């Protein structure tokens, strides 16, 4: 239940909503407590809100300690516990309630601990636990770490050089302002990173010219990390392409299907499935939600699964044979499991024509013999023979169905067969 960012179960989603509401109430109480009039009238209410929300944060932290093994599945109990406690999320969760309870356990240091109450601003980072989109910022900073460190190093060198130059030029003119090198660093930082605060500024002509040059350098140097971060965001969002963009020539094929109540995968967690090594569940769609298929996500009836697997690399062609079922065909009206097929023969696809909606009224008024002729003509037009230059259903709408054992064949269906031994299965298969 306390696994954040997982919306596969209603209880998980409800817990995330409650956690977010508690966080917002706690921060609102902290802000309103700074208003003297509101504090006088509603001080008791604000203290109660803070008390119960902080208690919720403490309970949440304990629950996360107990379920750390579920988050770090590849570690032992102690390893998972230490990994969570030392993680950024674990530290933020601890700081969200610890300053509130320190004066209770250490009354003698209550005055000092009150200063630690400012740490509660770190509760804002808890929002990052409930919304994965905010993690994009940390991912971008992590991916561009080397470039950002290089740009910051260059800016620091420029700041030190600028401060020393300005100190050497302005110290004699205003010794009470540029008293030491640190005063120059403060001026350089405020000039390079902002427009300056006006508390320290050059008064000599040479100092003013030097300040103009440093200001122009600051515009270019500060733009470097900004450009790096912007490029990182562009690269990050370019990775979030649609699955279909990768399925067209990448050697990976994707298929999707809907789970039904009778399917064996229903009510099972993804980690409980014994999938082949080259097959993965890449997306799980539930109603209007797209769920990341983590191992603890449970699948329900109605879920749409998208599977990814490597494309067929065997260049030898697979010859398929089409069989059009007319009214007198012995397969019409039978389920696929009832067909007497050779062990070397396999039904791979069924194409069923979709009747035109505009002609249903006129077809209903035809006699039995006229309707039979019309259906035969439609079957011939919608399903040309394999030898003709055309594909099945060209110009017509057909429904493609998988050959399940309980699927009943109908007149007009086109059955696509694969036979392992072509010598005993001619190109024109007649029944």
Of residues 115 and 254, which shows the higher confidence score?
254
Predicted pLDDT at 366: 45
Model confidence over 326-375: pLDDT tens digits? 888 888 888 888 887 777 778 888 888 877 655 444 444 444 544 554 45
**pLDDT for 390 beyond 70:** no
User: How does strand 304-310 pair with strand 279-286?
Assistant: antiparallel
**pLDDT for 142 beyond 60:** yes
Angle between helices 135-143 and 145-170 in degrees, nearest 10? 80
d(CA 138, CA 148): 13
Model confidence over 81-124: pLDDT tens digits? 898 899 877 888 887 888 788 777 766 655 555 556 666 566 66
Section 200-208 average pLDDT: 87
Confidence band for 385, pLDDT divided at 50, 70 and 90: very low
Element at 316 (helix H, strand E): none
Could you tell me the two tokens for 246? 């990768």
HSE-up of 426 (CA within 13 Å, CB side)? 5
Predicted pLDDT at 45: 92
Nearest C-alpha neighbor of 256 from the set 305, 292, 223, 294: 305
Nearest C-alpha neighbor of 5 from the set 127, 93, 131, 139: 131
* Rg of the Cα atoms in the chain: 35
Ordered by where they begin, the domains of the chain are 10-130 (1.20.120), 145-239 (1.10.287.70), 247-310 (3.30.70.1450), 320-424 (3.30.70.1450)
d(CA 180, CA 193): 21
Torsion sign (Cα): 314, 315, 321, 322: positive
| Lowest mean pLDDT segment, chosen from 128-137, 371-380, 414-423 | 371-380
- Residue 61: strand, helix, or coil: helix
């Amino acid at each position: 239940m306390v696994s954040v960012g997982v919306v596969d179960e209603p209880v998980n989603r409800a817990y995330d909503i409650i956690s977010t509401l508690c966080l917002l109430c706690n921060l609102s109480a902290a802000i309103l407590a700074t208003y003297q009039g509101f504090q006088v009238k509603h001080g008791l209410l604000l203290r109660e809100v803070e008390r119960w929300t902080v208690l919720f944060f403490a309970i949440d932290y304990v629950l996360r300690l107990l379920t750390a093994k579920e988050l770090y599945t590849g570690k032992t109990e102690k390893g998972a516990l230490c990994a969570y406690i030392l993680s950024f999320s674990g530290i933020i969760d601890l700081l969200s309630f610890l300053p509130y309870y320190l004066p209770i356990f250490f009354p003698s240091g209550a005055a000092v601990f009150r200063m630690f109450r400012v740490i509660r601003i770190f509760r804002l980072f808890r929002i990052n636990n409930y919304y994965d989109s905010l993690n994009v910022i940390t991912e971008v900073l992590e991916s561009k770490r080397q470039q950002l460190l290089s740009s910051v190093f260059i800016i620091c060198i420029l700041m030190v050089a600028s401060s020393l130059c300005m100190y050497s030029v302005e110290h004699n003119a205003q010794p009470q302002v540029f008293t030491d090198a640190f005063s120059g660093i403060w001026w350089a930082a405020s000039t390079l990173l902002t427009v300056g605060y006006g508390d320290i500024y050059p008064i000599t002509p040479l100092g003013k010219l030097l300040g103009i040059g440093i200001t122009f350098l600051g515009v270019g140097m500060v733009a470097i990390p900004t450009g790096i971060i912007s490029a990182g965001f562009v690269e990050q969002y370019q990775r979030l392409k649609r699955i279909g963009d990768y399925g067209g020539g990448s050697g990976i094929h994707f298929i999707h299907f809907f789970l039904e109540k009778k399917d064996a995968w229903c009510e099972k967690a993804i980690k409980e499935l014994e999938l082949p090594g080259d097959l993965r569940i890449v997306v799980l769609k539930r109603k209007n939600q797209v769920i990341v298929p983590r191992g603890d996500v449970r699948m329900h009836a109605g879920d749409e699964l998208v599977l990814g697997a490597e494309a067929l690399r065997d260049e030898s062609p697979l010859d398929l044979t089409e069989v059009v079922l007319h009214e007198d065909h012995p397969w019409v009206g039978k389920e696929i499991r009832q067909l007497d097929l050779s062990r070397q023969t396999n039904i791979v696809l069924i194409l069923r024509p979709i009747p035109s909606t505009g002609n249903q009224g006129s077809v209903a008024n035809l006699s039995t013999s006229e309707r039979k002729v019309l259906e035969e003509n439609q079957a011939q037009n919608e399903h040309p023979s394999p030898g003709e230059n055309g594909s099945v259903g060209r110009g017509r709408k057909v429904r493609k169905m998988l050959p399940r054992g309980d699927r009943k064949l109908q007149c007009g269906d086109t059955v696509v067969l694969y036979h392992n031994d072509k010598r005993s299965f001619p190109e024109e298969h007649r029944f």
